[in-house]
Amino acid sequence: MKSSSARVSYVLFSLLLVLLLSAPSSSADLIEKACRLALDSDACVETIKSFPESASATVPELAIIVLQLASQKAVNVTTHINTLLRNASSLDPIVYQRIDECSVHFQDAVDMVDNSKAALSVQAYDDVTRFLTIAEGDAAACQDGIRSVGSQDLVSELATFNQSFKRLCNIAIVITKAAKLVN
């Protein structure tokens, strides 16, 4: 039964995106239409429009832009985690352990975003989505681990980085699904 519901949802999602993206429109309209199904459509539009090259981009080019952002964010989070670990002398051992686990999760997330970029370059849209979903899962696992140790400032800061990365992954997934439908 779940499989049938999932198929119906996918078909409806696909039809909606095809209808939205097939009508001639300006780039701004294209961005808004492509972002309509994101968890936070306003953040999706704002994120993409912050890049001047998005003004004339096609949907597949928008996917490239967002993947670059997700990649940059994953590297930034990894760098932040490594900084926390280097300055770990004052950390509670449990907090250190959770941050160390985040390091492992985010190295995997970086790899998954890199795999997504490679998959996008050969229009393997389903692989892009799969890799980004794994990257989101890595960020969620990190977040769950650090949430369990309390609300220290550094943990809160890491949680903010995590949320930002997960949002970019969600945006990239939505734009990738849109790119698949228009190609």
Which structural domains are found in the chain, ordered by start?
25-181 (1.20.140.40)
Question: Whole-prediction pTM value?
Answer: 0.79
Which whole-number Å values give the CA distances from 54 to 15, 29, 32, 58, 87, in the listed order? Answer: 24, 11, 12, 8, 39
Q: Which of 34-43, 68-77, 158-167 has the lowest mean pLDDT?
A: 34-43
**Tell me: the pLDDT tens digits for 65-92?**
999 999 999 999 999 899 888 987 777 8
- Report, as an integer, the average pLDDT of 161-182: 90
Q: What type of residue is 139?
A: A
103: left (phi over 0), alpha (psi -120 to 50) or beta: alpha
**DSSP 8-class letter at 93:** H
